[in-house]
């Protein structure tokens, strides 16, 4: 059954692209390095479990627990509480294990035959990833002002099941003076985005908006069958005359799916 682990964010720029600066539309990247990750999750030595991504949580150490008798994983995010156990011994594949009280999510791939033969616990260190969509703003650009664009894709990476009523929005704007906006591509599902000449050139047609809630979010096709993908654009606008540097100046996209 599809879950959050199957709703994958990918770069544009061609099937083999791994460089966010080259995500200027065109075909979706299909290589592992073309997936846009949110946070790193390091320290898992538990056999049969590999961390794919993490999202929506504070940096620091969390705890991943495998219950052998129940065949479940349970995730406690850094500074958070333990979430509901997720059964992972039914099928090999990707799973989303969420912390308590809608806490952060750890995305893992599980190989059943390699899971531990008894209970096991791992400390997992969560860290944010920098420059995974936009590069740093240069002094020249902050003085003159700068608007840049990136083309990305949402993909249903499940092997068999559909994702329903997917929407996304800007959950957190940057703390700096730059402003993020998003726009759905005007191409149909499974059609490549247009290719723009450079990062300073706007795509033709898409309308940029700044929704901040699920209710006002951008809706993807009502049903995204397994393997389907849909393109969209992100715009970063830096006004002229910015003189204050903001370290780790990040924004966050929110999304919700039904499966």
pLDDT digits 0-9 by tens, 211-235: 999 999 999 988 899 999 999 999 9
Question: If you compute the radius of gyration of the chain from its CA atoms, what whole number of angstroms results?
Answer: 19
pTM value is 0.92
What are the distances in angstroms from CA 101 to CA 79, 96, 169, 252? 12, 15, 21, 19
Q: What is the pLDDT of residue 153?
A: 98
pLDDT digits 0-9 by tens, 120-162: 999 999 999 989 999 999 999 999 999 999 999 999 998 888 9
Residue 156 pairs with which residues in a beta bridge? 7
pLDDT digits 0-9 by tens, 20-70: 999 999 999 999 999 999 999 999 999 999 999 999 999 999 999 999 999
């Amino acid at each position: 059954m599809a879950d959050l682990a199957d709703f994958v964010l990918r770069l544009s720029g061609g099937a083999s692209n791994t460089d966010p600066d080259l995500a200027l539309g065109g075909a979706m990247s299909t290589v592992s390095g073309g997936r846009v990750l949110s946070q790193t999750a390091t320290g898992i030595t538990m056999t049969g479990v590999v961390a794919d991504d993490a999202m929506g949580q504070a940096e620091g150490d969390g705890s991943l627990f495998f219950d052998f008798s129940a065949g479940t994983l349970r995730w406690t995010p850094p500074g958070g509480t333990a979430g509901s156990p997720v059964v992972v011994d039914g099928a090999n594949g990707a799973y989303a294990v969420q912390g308590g009280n809608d806490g952060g999510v750890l995305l893992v791939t599980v190989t059943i035959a390699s899971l531990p033969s008894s209970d096991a616990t791992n400390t997992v260190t969560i860290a944010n990833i920098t420059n995974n969509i936009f590069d740093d703003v240069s002094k020249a650009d902050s003085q003159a002002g700068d608007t840049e664009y990136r083309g990305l894709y949402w993909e249903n990476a499940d092997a068999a099941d559909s994702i329903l009523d997917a929407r996304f929005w800007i959950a957190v704007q940057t703390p700096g003076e730059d402003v993020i906006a998003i726009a759905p591509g005007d191409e149909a599902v499974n059609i490549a985005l247009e290719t723009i000449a450079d990062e300073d050139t706007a795509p033709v047609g898409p309308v940029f908006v700044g929704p901040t809630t699920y209710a006002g979010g951008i809706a993807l096709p009502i049903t995204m069958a397994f393997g389907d993908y849909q393109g969209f654009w992100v715009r970063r606008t830096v006004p002229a005359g910015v003189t204050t540097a903001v370290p780790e100046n990040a924004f966050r996209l929110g999304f919700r799916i039904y499966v």
